[in-house]
Chain A
């Protein structure tokens, strides 16, 4: 069974601070996704990383896939209140059509 461990589970910071969220596993994934979810809504896909060592940037968000494709990180620069939400990582590569989801990091950015 593939597992993805996310840390921290909860994060409360002030506007303007930087933060990093981690997603770790002992399993290798063919791809890894990051989703963001707001309360009462479905998750929204932010990015997919496929290649070991890959780095993708989405405005103030930087995503990195580990060299061994077992872990990933999400770094947010100068966080804003609009970044508040649940960040979920998910990995593909085990059973077909099945994503392994982490339990998420609940981020609160205070103005």
Chain B
């Protein structure tokens, strides 16, 4: 069966510090991968998605970047965090091919920037 893991689960960082959140998927090949941010426990905002190694699409201009160094690994980064980067970050995957809207989410990473 497929599983998705992301870490760390909780992170408290000072303004201006770097960020690295990692996500890995097991049990499937060539997944589409996504990073979402959820503010105040409500709606989800798509940040990045990837349909293959090294292929990153950005949805919203921001202080963050994403990379996909391996087929089932997706990394969210920042060189200098802002207060507004605080939030709940979710990694997700979907099957390759026609997009059905069915996403499978990781456990989430809670980032607090102080």
Which A residues are closer than 8 A to B by beta carbons? 30-33, 35, 39-45, 48, 86, 88, 90-93, 96-99, 101-104, 106
18 further A-B pairs in the complex, CB-CB below 8 A; given A43-B90, A96-B99: A33-B101, A42-B105, A43-B105, A44-B105, A48-B102, A86-B42, A88-B43, A88-B44, A90-B103, A92-B101, A97-B34, A97-B51, A97-B99, A98-B46, A99-B44, A99-B46, A104-B41, A104-B42
Whether the Cβ atoms of A41 and B101 lie closer than 8 Å is no
Question: In the complex, what's the smallest C-beta–C-beta distance from B104 to chain A, in angstroms?
Answer: 7
Question: Across the interface, which residues of B come within 8 angstroms of A97, CB to CB?
Answer: 32, 34, 49, 51, 57, 94, 99
B25 in the interface, Cβ–Cβ < 8 Å?
A: no
Which of B34, B57, B101 is in CB contact (< 8 Å) with A31? B101
Taken residue by residue from 39 to 55, chain B's Cβ proximity to chain A (1 for < 8 Å, 0 otherwise) reads as 00111101001010000
Q: Report B53 CB to chain A, min CB distance, Å.
A: 16
Quick one: which of B59, B102, B107, B110 contacts A33, CB cutoff 8 A?
B102
Are B99 and A40 in contact, with the CB atoms below 8 A?
no
Q: A105's closest neighbor in chain B, by CB?
A: B42
Total contacting residues, chain B, CB less than 8 A: 25
| 6 closest cross-chain pairs (CB), A and B | A92-B101, A42-B105, A103-B43, A101-B44, A31-B101, A103-B42
Whether A31 pairs with B90 at a CB distance below 8 angstroms is: no
Shortest Cβ distance from B33 into chain A, in angstroms?
Answer: 10
Q: Which chain B positions have C-beta within 8 A of A106?
A: 41
| Contact residues, B56-99 vs A (CB, 8 A) | 57, 59, 90, 92, 94, 99
B2 is an interface residue with CB less than 8 A from chain A: no
**Residues of A contacting B105 in the complex (Cβ-Cβ under 8 angstroms):** 42-44
Contact call A45/B49, Cβ cutoff below 8 A: no
